Copies of this chain bind each other. A is one copy, B any other.
Amino acid sequence: MSQAFYQNYRLGVVGGGQLGRMLIQSAIDYNIDISVLDPDPNAPCRSLASEFTQGKLTDFETLYEFGKRCDLVTIEIENVNTDALKKLRDEGVKVFPQPEIIELIQDKRIQKQFYADNDIPTADFILTEDATEVRENASFLPAVNKLGKEGYDGRGVQIIREEKDLEKAFDAPGLLEKLVDFDTEISVIVARNEKGETKAFPAVELSYHPEHNLVEFLFAPAKISAEVERKAEELALRVIDTLGMVGLLAVEMFVTKDGDVLVNEVAPRPHNSGHQTIEANVTSQYEQHLSAIVGAPLGDTKAITPSVMVNLLGEDGHQGLAKCEGLDSVMAMDGVKTHLYGKKITKPFRKMGHVTLIGSDTEALKSDARRVKETLKIVSE
């Protein structure tokens, strides 16, 4: 592998958002040339990639032509043309995660069925073809109704607590999932390389925005027992091993009030629940993803310090050229690191950046995180 790091090794990243941006930021240390494909000419990766191609990720020709020039292709978003990835793979380009796994994860119905087929604990569910089928299952409520495809960042997910909520049910293939009465929502990020070596990051706890189904705060370590931590790690590793996936897999899980751990859903790439690893762990999730896909040994996942991550979402009611309010006050705080994603345009709840807080006192971290949330606002000019 080491050879690749010094001369003319080209990695193609499909998608040029913040995850790609932080991936490039890490890849600088690996000395890899990176090409990026994204439909947005102002994508966060635009000026950082050594080559940037503007084009649709779901278009076969575009993705195939892009990938042909690379030694290795990876993704930073799942909604891509997997037929193009398969053709590239068949023609000798390495593609990680493997196209079949991306397909499985693209469709929450297939993903969910995969858990059921492999005895991976997950919430009970019913596959539904349309709104009528959802409405026929009133006895299954309270439930979460999820679109099979194209849900992302809180879109394509609705909570259906009682019969009257059934009116709004999506009218497309989806699944109805029993609402889990959970204690905690956690995420364990695992990685696997071609040799089958695996490593897990310590579990983190996720706190979602009550309305927008977006991670608002992340706490590391998660406040769970050693027993639950062990179960969660084992489960996450079992998912990646069963998939036989090469790359990074974020496994989001529910910890029930009885201490059971259920897989909610997975993402086969760096994930919002791993941003804090940049500062708080020996190896970041981005470095780990790179190591896994280029075939290098996986890095040490140990946490160096407790941390809290705050997503900076575009303020509600603001759309247009972005500016920060309160950034100076936040930068002056101890233990604080701000990451801005370089998006020129803000929209309500758009992910515009994140802040990581590190320190030894977890209660102080939480209160500082709330202060960051209240102080730092992304608004329009």
Chain A residues with a Cβ under 8 A of chain B: 1-3, 5-7, 21, 24-25, 28-31, 33, 47-48, 50, 279, 282-283, 287, 291, 296-297, 299-300, 302, 304-305, 321-328, 331-342, 344, 358, 381
Contacts and interface: CB of A to CB of B under 8 A. Distances in A.
A51 B28 CA distance: 17
B47 A33 contact: yes
A2 B304 contact: no
Nearest to A339: B29
Contact of A337 (B50, B283, B340): B283
A328 B31 contact: no
Which of A3, A28, A302 is most buried by chain B, counting CB atoms within 10 A of its CB?
A28
- Copies of this chain, complex-wide, total 2
B328 A2 contact: yes
Which of A305, A340, A381 is most buried by chain B, counting CB atoms within 10 A of its CB?
A340
A369 to B, nearest CB: 15
11 contacts: A2-B325, A6-B324, A24-B28, A29-B340, A33-B47, A47-B50, A279-B282, A282-B358, A297-B332, A299-B331, A300-B335
Given A6-B324, A7-B322, A282-B335, 18 more contacts: A1-B328, A2-B325, A6-B321, A6-B340, A7-B321, A24-B28, A25-B29, A28-B342, A33-B47, A283-B337, A296-B328, A296-B331, A297-B328, A297-B332, A299-B336, A300-B333, A304-B305, A305-B305
A31 B334 contact: no
Nearest to A8: B344
A324 B358 contact: no
Contacts of A291: 331
A33 B47 CA distance: 8
B283 A323 contact: no
B335 A2 contact: no
Contacts of A332: 297
Which of A24, A25, A331, A333 is most buried by chain B, counting CB atoms within 10 A of its CB?
A331
B282 A7 contact: no
Contacts of A336: 282, 299-300
Contacts of A5: 324, 327, 340
Contact of A322 (B6, B30, B287, B299): B6
Given A5-B327, A28-B21, A331-B291, A282 B321 contact: no
A358 B337 CA distance: 19
3 shortest interchain CB distances as A-B pairs: A2-B327, A297-B332, A47-B50
Contacts of A324: 2-3, 5-6
Contacts of A3: 323-324
A291 to B, nearest CB: 7
A123 to B, nearest CB: 36
Contact of A6 (B287, B344, B358): B344
A342 to B, nearest CB: 5
Contacts of A338: 29
A304 B278 CA distance: 13
Given A31-B342, A337-B283, A6 B323 contact: yes
Contacts of A279: 282
A341 B282 contact: no
A212 B258 CA distance: 63
